[in-house]
Amino acid sequence: PLRWFPWLANATDEQQTHYELHAFSIYWPDLDDGLDIEALITGNWTTPMDEQVEEAL
């Protein structure tokens, strides 16, 4: 649901409909944000980016 992504839910209709489909992600250039398709499928998108960076180090 859109409510899971406030940054997208709060965007204008124009911003929401201006997106780029990539092989493994969807990117909204006007919002400088995107969603990884694998993360959406696995539910792993809930991990804050700071934690993802720390885990990678």
| Structural domain that includes position 25 | 2-56
pLDDT given for residue 7 in this prediction: 93
pLDDT given for residue 11 in this prediction: 97
pLDDT exceeds 80 at position 3? yes
For 20, the 3-state DSSP assignment is strand
pLDDT given for residue 56 in this prediction: 52
Q: From its phi and psi, is residue 43 left (phi > 0), alpha (psi between -120 and 50) or beta?
A: left
pLDDT exceeds 70 at position 4? yes
Q: Give the residue from 43, 44, 46, 5 showing the smallest Cα distance to 19.
A: 5
* Token representation of residue 47: 């991990």
At 8-53, the pLDDT tens digits run 999 999 999 999 999 999 999 999 999 999 888 888 766 555 554 4
Domain count, the chain: 1
pLDDT given for residue 34 in this prediction: 94
